[in-house]
Amino acid sequence: MFYLDILFSLLFSFLLIICILVGVAF
């Protein structure tokens, strides 16, 4: 469960960074 929680937080951070990069690029 602990690893799953870390995995979800990492995935969320990754998606958030991609959204910001796409927003800046376009």
Kindly list the distances between the CA atom of residue 2 and the CA atoms of 7, 8, 9, 10, 16, in Å, as whole numbers in the listed order.
9, 10, 11, 13, 21
Token pair in block for residue 23: 């927003």
Strand ranges inside 1-26, DSSP E: none
pLDDT of residue 5: 93
pLDDT of residue 13: 98
Which of 26, 1, 3, 23 is CA-nearest to residue 15?
23
pLDDT of residue 26: 79
Token pair in block for residue 15: 């998606």
The tens digit of pLDDT for each residue in 1-26 reads 688 999 999 999 999 999 999 999 87
The Cβ-side half-sphere exposure at 1, using a 13 Å CA radius, reads 0
Instruction: Judge if pTM exceeds 0.85.
Output: no
